[in-house]
Amino acid sequence: MSKLTSFITEYRLALSMCLGVSTLACMDFGYIWVFFAAALLSIWLLVRSLQSLIGCARWQHVLIVGLIWLTGLGLSHVVHSLRAQARQEFAEKVVSQVRQFQMQHHRYPQSLAELGLSAEDIWEEHKLRYLPKPPALLYLDNKMIYAKHFYDFRERRWQYAAD
């Protein structure tokens, strides 16, 4: 196999793995896939750098493929950060609605339906749940598996539970 064919194969493999990892990382699996990809990238970079030092690989190829991987990992981080911000903003809106409901009716709602919201749709889109007793709102953290943020209406503050 020629060096050009080898590079194109490696380039396609890196691009497809990068897209695959970015896609998995953008789902609700947390950052675990990004860390897994970063570990693979570290091993690959070490091996390919050593190969380029002894002349078995061209450093330009290593640099290009490494940049592809780093771009994918960076994209995954940006997507996670934007999703986390969107979830937090939506949760704050729901907290505000629940507090307004409580002020008007002197009780907390029994469900999100009393606020005109669909609990199933909110769970699917934002991974957010309302618990009526004691009143609390929680949403899953999209960076850490099983971690959650929850709002305690009695204490009027957000708390973070890592597991």
Q: pTM of the entire structure?
A: 0.71
Query: Is residue 33 located within the same domain as residue 18?
Result: yes
Long-range pairs for 33-39: beta carbons < 8 A, 24 or more residues apart: 33/76, 34/73, 34/76, 34/77, 34/80, 37/69, 37/72, 37/73, 37/76, 38/73
Measured CA to CA in angstroms, residue 103 lies from 96, 98, 106, 124, 151 at distances of 11, 9, 5, 28, 17
Same domain, 86 and 156: yes
Domain containing residue 38: 3-80
Same-domain pairing of 101 and 153 = yes
d(CA 69, CA 67): 5
61 in Cβ contact with 10 (< 8 Å): yes
Q: Are 94 and 70 in contact, with CB atoms under 8 Å apart?
A: no
Domain identity same for 67 and 114: no
Is the sign of the CA dihedral 111, 115, 116, 119 positive or negative? negative
Domain end residue (candidates: 80, 105, 131): 80
* Helix (H/G/I), strand (E/B), else coil: 130: strand
Residues 86, 75 within the same domain? no
Residues 49 and 24: their CA atoms lie apart, in Å, by 27
Q: How many structural domains is the chain composed of?
A: 2
pLDDT of residue 100: 93
Same domain, 94 and 75: no
* 66 and 49 in a common domain: yes
Phi first, then psi: what are they for 139, rounded to 5°? -140, 150
Question: Same domain, yes or no, for 45 and 111?
Answer: no
Give 85-102 pLDDT, tens digit per residue. Answer: 888 999 999 999 999 999
pLDDT, residue 2, reads: 61
> Where among 53, 80, 107 does a domain terminate?
80
Q: Write out pLDDT tens, residues 6-48.
A: 656 666 666 666 666 666 655 665 666 677 777 777 787 777 7
User: Given 60, 80, 100, which residue is the final one in a domain?
Assistant: 80
| 46 shares its domain with 109 | no
Q: Minimum mean pLDDT among 31-35, 59-63, 73-77, 102-106: which range?
A: 31-35
CA distances from 81 to 87, 119, 133, 141 (A): 10, 24, 31, 11
